[in-house]
Chain A
Amino acid sequence: MSLIASTTPRRNAIALPSLDAIGAWVLAIVWISPLMFAVWAAFHTPEGALSFKLSAPLTLENFRVAWDSAPWPRYFLNTVLLVSVILAGQLTLCTLAGYAFARFEFPGRDVIFILVLMQLFVLPEVLIVENYVMISRLGLFDTIFGIGVPYMASAFGIFLLRQAFKSVPQELEEAARVEGCGWFGVLWRVYIPAARPTYLAYALVSVATHWNNFLWPLVVTNSTSTRPLTVGLSLFGATESGVNIAVVSAATLMVIAPLFVGFILFQRQFIQAFLRAGIR
């Protein structure tokens, strides 16, 4: 492919894109095929799902069976609460800390900033054991707040907002001060509105990350009233050891549906959010 391209640089504009397109399409189909097979399986009877016959009858029975065999509404509620609690905590804490790092001079600031950045590597996932002890000590075991609180002081959020605040022209702040704003007024009237795209990007990434998070919630939950969807789905797969692939597929699709529909609808914003946010 590349050989042809290098010998006929002019003509590849017409001849080659098709070859590129074929490669791109093949990879795209391979990449999406696990999801496609899950869709196929979810809408067929277990026998039909494995027969791969196009004529196999369609059914919604798997969704009914899956829906009835686990407390999904509760799991959905828990996940929604969890991502909301985390996001609210992150936006508050990271805004205050990002503002401090961006606009306040004080001794030790840069050392503290490096320490904060270290948290990008000292991940909550790695510290599951000691964080579990800590959460239990604080009496937060098996609470939604307990799942969320280790993620609230997100080093990544602090870093992002610090960068956003730093790019706000100083004159805007001075104008607000002339009009009598205190530090909070300046933050509220000047910096937060100016950083709105960063907030949106960060919020989308945060919601997507924590909607999908599994290991830490698995460790600190112990009951239906706190378990998020991912943990519920893992338990569901475990109890169906008879490998009813059709029902598991239906349950999986149910779990990913809200985020997935959101992704399809806001695809451009989602991808841009991930771009803007850099790392999770």
Chain B
Amino acid sequence: MHNPAADLERRRIALYGWMLLAPALILLITFAFLPAVETVWASLFSKGTIRRPSQFVGVDNYFAMFSDPAFKKVVTNNLIYAGITIPVSIAIALGMALWANAQIVGRGFVRAAYFTPTMLPMIAAANLWLFFYTPDLGVIDRITALFGFPSVNWLGQQETALYSVIAVTIWKEAGFYMIFYLAALQTISPELKEAATVEGAGRWTYTRRVVLPLLMPTTMFVFVNAVINSVKLIDHLFILTKGGPDNASKLVLYWVWEMAFAYFDTPAAATMTTLILIVLGVVAAIQFIVLERRVHYR
């Protein structure tokens, strides 16, 4: 049955819908989708000079990048960075949440202390940590000196620079993830605890068999956030190490920034950015598939 009035109404509603969406869509296209496509496109061209203009080179930039030892170093660094910051900050966040949820003296202070780093800009956090890492005069060296250890140039030597940066990230992020665990813990019904106690389960068994499984969705959510942060959280490098010494603490996005804005090598920056986009795309796809299976939000 064809109803012209209802047809018209439907079209009118569709038009309103698109009009409401338009401003946001235009900005999303301008600052997310178009730049993403342009990045991939730019990665297929050579770096132009005055004498030799930029020309199409296909995937040459990718081969050039893969054979660059600096690229290997930076990607390895980022994998180590992600491989440590993600699990450690999630584990600490979980511990913090369990403690911040327990009946302890001064719980308000404890919660605030855990959460405080989240409120600070990463640049400020890095400044605070400089005070810890400074050789001889810094807090860490002062404390280790009490036990007779020699002074260490934490940020200035290859062996420790990346790990010093990692420590700052964990410190900054754990309290943020704690919040989500805290929220999830508060939704767990106290009856479960009572039932477990009646069954003779100890606290460890209860935590491992009841609490942790119930926290799995939260862990998934926090994990995705932590992955994204392991790519985008590089502000502290500008203060602490500038990626040095000799690339020892350089991360992928810092490398992109340096290529584009210090060496003006746009194709190299675009090539690396394309790889980052692919990795984030895979993470997004995984999350959508998992979410789709668990909750279909309507």
Inter-chain residue pair count (beta carbon < 8 A)? 282
- Asked if A55 is at the interface (CB within 8 A of a chain B CB), the reply is no
Q: A24-B100, A259-B119 are in contact. Are A34 and B125 (CB under 8 A)?
A: yes
Whether B31 and A267, one on each chain, are in contact in the complex, defined by CB atoms closer than 8 angstroms, is no
**B31 and A9 contact, CB distance less than 8 A:** no
Is there contact, CB below 8 Å, between B127 and A32? no
Please report which residues of chain B, range 241-293, place their CB below 8 angstroms from some CB of chain A when the two chains form the complex. Answer: 253, 256-257, 260-261, 266, 269-270, 273, 276-277, 280-281, 283-284, 288
Q: Select which of A5, A35, A134, A155 is within 8 A of B203 by beta carbon.
A: A5
CA of A6 to CA of B276, assembled, Å: 46
Q: List 26 A-B contacts (CB under 8 A).
A: A3-B204, A6-B202, A6-B204, A9-B197, A24-B99, A28-B114, A32-B113, A38-B128, A92-B23, A97-B25, A112-B21, A115-B28, A125-B232, A127-B35, A129-B39, A129-B260, A129-B270, A130-B273, A132-B260, A134-B35, A153-B25, A166-B298, A229-B121, A237-B123, A248-B130, A256-B121
Contacts of A128 in B (CB 8 A): 256-257, 260
Known: A20-B99, A152-B27, A155-B28. A245 touches B120 (CB 8 A): no
A17 / chain B contacts, CB cutoff of 8 Å: 102-105
Q: How far is the CB of A19 from chain B (nearest CB, A)?
A: 10
Q: Is the CB of A274 within 8 A of B257?
A: no
- B96 on the interface (CB 8 Å rule)? yes
On chain B, which size bracket covers the interface? 35 or more
Question: Is the CB–CB distance between A21 and B232 below 8 Å?
Answer: no
Residues of A within 8 A of B269 (CB): 129
Question: Nearest B residue to A127 by beta-carbon distance?
Answer: B35
Q: Report yes or no: B124 in contact with A252, Cβ–Cβ below 8 A.
A: yes
CB of A18 to closest CB in B, whole Å: 8
- Shortest B254–chain A CB gap in Å is 9
Spot the interface stretch: A70-78, A169-177, A193-201, A208-216.
A208-216
A158 (CB) vs chain B CBs: closest residue: B24
**A99-125: which have CB < 8 Å to B?**
99-101, 104-107, 109, 112, 114-125
Task: Using CB atoms and an 8 Å cutoff, list the residues of chain A in contact with chain B.
Answer: 2-3, 5-7, 9, 12, 17, 20-21, 23-25, 27-29, 31-35, 37-38, 41, 50, 52, 92-94, 96-97, 99-101, 104-107, 109, 112, 114-134, 149-150, 152-153, 155, 158, 163, 166, 183, 208, 211-215, 218-219, 229-230, 233-234, 237, 243, 245, 248-249, 251-252, 255-256, 259-260, 263-264, 267, 270-271, 274-275, 278-279
Contact for B104 among A24, A219, A275, CB less than 8 A: A24
B residues 153-209 touching A (CB-CB < 8 Å): 171, 175-176, 179-180, 182-183, 197, 200-205, 207
B210 at the A interface (CB under 8 A): no
Q: Main secondary structure on chain A at its contact with chain B?
A: helix
Cross-chain contact A31 with B17 (CB below 8 angstroms)? no
Stretch of B70-78, B80-88, B132-140 lying at the A interface: B132-140
Within 8 Å CB of A153, what residues of B? 23-28, 31
Chain B 6-25 near chain A by CB (<8 Å), digits 1 or 0: 00001001101110110111
> Given the complex of chains A and B, what is the CA–CA distance between A35 and B235 in angstroms?
18
Lowest 9 CB-CB distances: which A-B pairs, in order? A6-B202, A104-B17, A130-B35, A106-B14, A212-B121, A153-B27, A28-B113, A100-B20, A24-B99
